[in-house]
Amino acid sequence: MADRPALVILTGAGISAESGLPTFRGAGGLWEGHRVEEVATPGAFARDPELVLRFYDARRRALSTVEPNPAHHALARLEAVWDGPFLLVTQNVDDLHERAGSKRLLHVHGELLRARCTICGWADRWTGDLLGVACPSCGRRPALRPDVVWFEEVPIGLERIEAALARCTLFAAIGTSGQVWPAAGFVDRARRAGAHTVELNLEPTDASDRFHEHRFGPASRVVAAWVEELTARR
């Protein structure tokens, strides 16, 4: 057993698929005929803030209808018994990892259940709709936006992620197509640090050849089995 093995896990939309939340690039990747890329951009918000707010209000409301699945719970169990450095980086803006009990968690693309004011900079947890709501701090409207990272915007926590990747001995990417940077490059940084890298996905991706190991199948089954093996060895 490596002394204090350092683990970094990256999750994407695929880990929440079996909870009922559609992925971006799969069949469910459309919303009212819009590709997410058309809606999740600063330009789309400037052009049509109501469309963008309706899109995120619909996704936020959907959160109350879904539950974490066995893959989320398995990662929370793994964190609880892991005796070395551990960081779970999620590209997802849902709160399913938190609801499953994950603590050492970083939302690199922000959170659906947070909002911020584009005028005064106020930001806080937000569970209701945003459309038509005035900023609770400066009172102006329209001013509020979801506190998520859109295309062309700077992802969250990159320095903390870089520090974790630079010392990690095991890196796993779960349920992500590896299409969006910089998250898509985390596996390369982990390999440069000498880490063993595992891809857990429904099927091979364009990034598969950059991983040492692959476990294909639905996350609820494959992640639970992988965690079972890791915790049995400890």
Smallest gap, in angstroms, from Cβ of residue 201 to ligand APR? 5
Which among 19-27, 53-61, 96-104, 224-232 is the span making contact with ligand APR, rule CB under 6 A? 19-27
The residue among 41 and 137 lying less far from ligand APR, judged by its C-beta, is: 41
Of 109, 196, 212, 214, catalytic: 109
- Contact characters 112-131, ligand APR, x per CB under 6 A: --------------------
4 half-sphere exposure, CB direction, 13 A CA radius: 3
Report the distance separating Cα 12 and Cα 73, nearest Å: 15
Report the distance separating Cα 225 and Cα 20, nearest Å: 21
Report the distance separating Cα 203 and Cα 216, nearest Å: 5
Find the binder of ligand APR among 91, 102, 169, 197 (CB under 6 A): 91
Find the binder of ligand APR among 19, 102, 169, 177 (CB under 6 A): 177
Catalytic site includes residue 109: yes
Q: Starting at the earlier edge strand, list the strands of the sheet with 7-11.
A: 105-107, 86-90, 7-11, 170-174, 196-201, 213-216
Structural tokens at position 30: 């459309």
Contact flag: residue 175 with ligand APR (CB under 6 A) = yes
Question: What is the signed CA dihedral for 228, 94, 92, 143, rounded to 10 degrees?
Answer: -160
Find the binder of ligand APR among 59, 77, 109, 145 (CB under 6 A): 109
Find the binder of ligand APR among 18, 57, 94, 95 (CB under 6 A): 18
β-pairing, 30-31 vs 196-201, is unpaired
Q: Please report, as ranges, the residues that interact with ligand APR according to CB under 6 A.
A: 12-14, 17-18, 23-26, 36, 91, 109, 175-177, 179-180, 201-203, 205, 218-219
